[in-house]
Every structure is written in structure tokens, then in C-alpha cells.
Structure 1
Amino acid sequence: MSRGIIIGLVIIILIAGGAYYAYYYFTTGNVSIYLQDAPSSQGLKIYLTISSIMIHKVNSASNGSWILVSNKSITVLLTSNITFLASARLPAGQYNEIFLEISSAKVELGGVNISANLPSAVFKIHIVNGMDLKGGSSESLLISFPHITFSNGEIIISPSVTAQVISQ
């Protein structure tokens, strides 16, 4: 092959790669998801094992679609500190809910581990005022757990969880 043909092929490959990157970059944005629990005055430590994270993209033509953010199982300690959970590159658009699938919930009280009761094995979390993800942008979501309750000898984690867009 002649040197000119090779140089031409390299230029075509670079242009195609650049066009693909530009399209990908400007049609997607990065979302980082964080957790935070209200401060506990009861000396409780709550551990959640999250097996799946999905986010709901609003679509005016239909009911929208659920997009997988992570299916990596992770165990987190809920604290009043902001804790990183996951991040992903998602299509630009409007998002209104996060779905956390919980495989286990444990509470440590006075050095004793107790299984916590979740009304279901999921948290379907409303994003307050929604999230508008622009192409090429980054957004951060903070999931806030409001409280836990004691009932009939059980520790119950409230399913009233919300998320909001935060500035980092």
C-alpha cells in the first residue's frame, strides 16, 4: 500500500472516532448518586445491601423507561455524612425516579445485629422537582433516608425516601 492511502485511512478513522465521541458526549451526561441518613440519636447503625440501581427517564411518547445504573451489589452504612453510591453516563433528558433493590438490611444496636423489616425489598424514590440531564453535563443526586421506627419489637426503615439534585 502506498503511504498516501495509509495516511488517508488514518485520517478517516480519526475523523470517524472524533465524530462518534462528540455524538456520545453531547447526547449523554454523567450522574453521580449519593446517600445520606438523618443523624441518629439512638446509636443505631443501618447497613443496606443494594443489589440494583435504576433510574426512570421521562418520555412524553410513553410511560418512560427504566435505565440500569448499576447491578453491582454494594453494602453501605447509612450515616449523616454524604456517601457515594454509584455513577453512570446516561442519555440526556428528564428523570423523575430512582429504584433501589435491597437484598438485605441490617441494624446494629448496642453491638447486636438485627435484621430490619423493609415493607418491600425496594425503594422507589421520587426525585424532588425532577432532574434535567443535559448532554455533556454532570449532575449529582442525593438520596435522603428520613427515619426508622420501632414497632412490635421490629426496626422498620421508612419507605418515604426522596432524592434531590445537589451541587458538588
Structure 2
Amino acid sequence: MNKGIIGIVIVLLVLVSGIYYGYYYFTTGVVNVYVQDPPTTQGYKIYLTISSIMLHKVNASNDSWITISNKTITILLTSNMTFLASSRIPSGEYNEIFLEISAAQVQLGNINISAKIPSGVFKIHIINGMDLKGGSSQSLLISFPHITYTNGQIIISPSITAEVIS
């Protein structure tokens, strides 16, 4: 009798686990975030310290901003795609990505200059949006168009874009 009850409990646990995993898998997808800067001949390097990455979910009833990462990372913007973060998030349509920048440095030769990021964030429009299906994965590429150095100030162009690359 006890073996029968144990068998039923095991079957129920396997069934419930399978249903939960199936629901979780088919209602979420994986997003990978990359960044890239066009090649420059100006002789400077840009380092960004990113403390948070979030995506804006379209038509969300609650919590329209979904956190991808709260891990602080410092990256060098280069013409090569640089991986920022990956996360499993709810499926749906997303139209913006948000980068919280805690520091920005520009290296001109041997001189490091702090760059000012107004409000400390980049709120970036995703060209044509991103439709993340359950059980799928998408990759986003954030492109920084250019920076300028004028009158002793480093200006990072606010016209940053993101697009789905896979």
C-alpha cells in the first residue's frame, strides 16, 4: 500500500514539474544584449560603466520595465560586438532598452576625461520593436553612432539605436 502511495506522489510531482516547466518555457524567452560603436580614426576610447539594463514591455498592465541585469560592468566601446547581458524574460513586445550609466570615461592618448551623461541613462528606441516569442531567443544590438569632442567637452550622441539581429 505504501509503495502505491509513493508511486502516485512521484507521478504527481513529475507531472506538476513538467507542467510548470512547460508553462515557464513557453511564456518566456531569452534576450541577449550586445553593444557596438562604429570604427573611429579619432584616436580616443570610450569606457562605459553600466549598472542596470532594462527592457520596456509594450502594453504591460504592471511592471512595464523588465530587468535584464543589475550587475555593474565596464565596457570599452569598439567596432566589435561586445556582449552585455542575457536573461530569460516574459514573452511579448518590447520597444525600448534602458541603460543606467554610472560612469563614462574617454581616453585621449594618455589622458582620461570624464564624459557627462545627462540624467545618467540612455533610453534607447528599438527599431521596429522586438517581439519575443515564448521558447525563443532574440539578440539586440545597441549602436552608438558617434561622439564629439568640442570646446573641452565630450558629447556622446543621444541618437543611440537598438535593433534585433537574430
Question: TM class, shorter-chain normalised?
Answer: over 0.9
SS of 1:120's equivalent in the other structure is helix
Give the match for residue 77 of structure 2. 78
Contact 1:58 1:93 in 2 (8 A): yes
Q: Which runs of 5+ in 1 are unaligned?
A: none
Q: Which contiguous aligned blocks of 4+ residues in structure 1 show a shift greater than 2 angstroms?
A: 61-64
The letter for the 2-side match of 1:156 is: I
Give the match for residue 137 of structure 1. 136
The letter for the 2-side match of 1:38 is: P
What CA RMSD, in Å, does the superposition of the two structures yield over aligned residues? 1.4
Give the match for residue 52 of structure 2. 52
The CA distance in 2 between the partners of 1:132 and 1:16, in whole Å, is 29
Q: Which runs of 5+ in 2 are unaligned?
A: none
Deviations along 1:105-146, one digit per CA (max 9) or x if unpaired, are 001110211111223310000000000000000000000000
User: What TM-score results when the alignment is normalised by the length of structure 1?
Assistant: 0.95
The CA distance in 2 between the partners of 1:119 and 1:92, in whole Å, is 31
The letter for the 2-side match of 1:131 is: M
Give the match for residue 125 of structure 1. 124
The letter for the 2-side match of 1:85 is: L
The letter for the 1-side match of 2:13 is: I
Deviation at 1:62, TM superposition (A): 5.6
Deviation at 1:71, TM superposition (A): 0.8
The letter for the 2-side match of 1:99 is: F
Deviation at 1:63, TM superposition (A): 9.2
Deviations along 1:8-48, one digit per CA (max 9) or x if unpaired, are 11110000000000000000000000000011111111000
Instruction: State the number of aligned residues.
Output: 166
User: What TM-score results when the alignment is normalised by the length of structure 2?
Assistant: 0.96
